Amino acid sequence: MIPTRTFTILVVDDVLLMCDFLFKVITSIKNCKVLKATDGRTAIDILEHETIDMLITDIEMNAPNGLELLKKLRSGAINNPHDIPVLMFSGNTYKDMVLECLAYDVNDFLAKPLSADGLKKKVVFHLQHEKQILDAEHYKNIVFVPEKKEVKAAEPALTAEPYRSNVAIVRSLSASEHKGYVPQEESETETELAELVVWPENSTTGFHQLDRRMLILAQRINFFHNLFVKESKAIALANEIKRIVEAIDYLIYVGKKLQNTSDGQQSFWVFFNDRIQKLTDLGGDLAKVNPKHNSQIQPLFKRISYWWVQTLNRPFVHPLNESDHNE
């Protein structure tokens, strides 16, 4: 499938021929705009001043290398959304470096030599399939220990899980790994998660960043709901409450930023501001909940569900094919 809006992709390689190859191939994909950098410092400067939707970088370059770019991006040290897709490629990468990239949730690895067709397929796939990325604070606390081939966090084990040395380079993480929650017992089969709220397919607000934030909020809410249904420990519930509140704050931040830079659409922003005010109140009540008391949580699920249903209406959401994104 062809991307449905214009995406800006940054390619980084210190070998000029490879950089030009990436630029030429990805530019040929419809609705893809490409910027290129031949060193890490230039890449950081571009990320700071342009809204980048995907980063494709060589791992092994002069400092800062691709891994260092990934770390800075995921930890929020760069003024760009930290959860954009990141694709890494290299002809000779050490296992420790691969494991560290996985710890920072790299989206994919591309093996050299790259084929034009294979590269196009990877780019289109990751533009259309969003990977769950944790909050920036999680990545700030990661400490990698090469001798043990694992990742440790400064916080309790609730926020990180060891990465085993026999892990595949590309893998699909379970919902518990995505959220940084370590279950009490490991199960061979993953129970299908129930959805309290749903972001409808082929629907949009008209703003890609708002769509992304609403989808992430839905994922946070659904994971919290499933932890509650499974009677998880209070510390796990408290951790997810924190993540929902952070997702709400980020949604509000993105919305205000877009509102300040958008022309017209008065009815859209009036509706948005009304719904956001109610969501702010809801988030404040959620932050005050004692996760040990089910009686405090259950009424909030009803309020969250009601807010979601009331919000997914015009003029805030409409079918994707009715108009292009405004970004």
pLDDT digits (tens, 9 = 90+) for 42-101: 999 999 999 999 999 998 887 899 999 999 999 999 999 999 999 998 765 567 788 888
pLDDT score at 191: 42
**Contact residues for 101 (Cβ-Cβ < 8 A; gap 6+):** 59, 67, 70, 88, 109
Going by their DSSP bridges, the two strands 108-111 and 54-58 should be labelled as unpaired
From 3.40.50.2300, 3.40.470.10, 2.40.50.1020, 3.30.470.160, which CATH number describes the 7-130 domain?
3.40.50.2300
300-317 residue pLDDT tens: 988 998 899 889 888 888
**Domain map of the chain by residue range?**
7-130, 137-179, 203-322
Does residue 64 have a cis peptide bond before it, meaning omega lies within 30 degrees of 0? yes
**Contact residues for 55 (Cβ-Cβ < 8 A; gap 6+):** 9, 10, 12, 43, 47, 69, 70, 73, 84, 85, 86, 87
User: Residue 173 pLDDT more than 50?
Assistant: no
Mean pLDDT lowest for which of 49-58, 88-97, 181-190, 238-247? 181-190
Question: Mean pLDDT score of the chain, rounded to an integer?
Answer: 80
Q: pTM score, two decimals?
A: 0.49
Structure tokens at 22: 């990436």
Structure tokens at 106: 């790299």
pLDDT score at 326: 58
Mean per-residue pLDDT, 104-132: 88
Q: DSSP assignment of 232-248, as one string?
A: --HHHHHHHHHHHHHHH
Q: Is there a contact between 247 and 216 (Cβ–Cβ < 8 Å)?
A: yes
254-277 residue pLDDT tens: 888 888 887 778 888 999 999 999
Mean per-residue pLDDT, 12-33: 91
Percent of the chain with pLDDT over 90: 35
User: Residue 238 pLDDT more than 50?
Assistant: yes
More confident residue, 11 or 182: 11
Mean per-residue pLDDT, 224-249: 88
Structure tokens at 149: 């081939």
Mean pLDDT lowest for which of 133-142, 164-173, 216-225? 164-173
